[in-house]
Amino acid sequence: MVSICCITYNHGRFIAQAIESFLMQQTNFEFEIIVGDDCSSDQTLKIVKLFSHKHPGKIKLITSPKNLGTHNNLINCQKFCTGKYVALCEGDDYWTDIFKLQKQVDFLEQSVDHVICCHYTRVINENNETLYVHPNPIPLEHTYFDLLSGKQEETKTASMLYRNFPEINQLFAKQWFFNCFAGDKIFKLFATHLSGKKIYVMPDVMSCYRNHTGGVWSMIDSKVRMERRISDFNLIIKNFTYPTYKRKSLLLLYIKEYLLFELRNRRLRKVYSTLKYLI
Report the pLDDT value the prediction gives residue 234, as an integer from 0 to 100: 97
Report the pLDDT value the prediction gives residue 212, as an integer from 0 to 100: 78
8 Å CB contact between 5 and 34? yes
Report the pLDDT value the prediction gives residue 152, as an integer from 0 to 100: 96
Tell me the fold of 2-210.
Spore Coat Polysaccharide Biosynthesis Protein SpsA; Chain A (3.90.550)
Report the pLDDT value the prediction gives residue 215, as an integer from 0 to 100: 57
Report the pLDDT value the prediction gives residue 219, as an integer from 0 to 100: 62
Task: List, for the chain, all residue ranges whose pLDDT scores fall below the cut of 50.
Answer: none
Model confidence pLDDT, tens digit, residues 116-161? 999 999 999 988 899 999 999 999 999 999 999 999 999 999 999 9
Domain locations in the chain?
2-210, 222-278
Report the pLDDT value the prediction gives residue 139, as an integer from 0 to 100: 98
Report the pLDDT value the prediction gives residue 217, as an integer from 0 to 100: 53
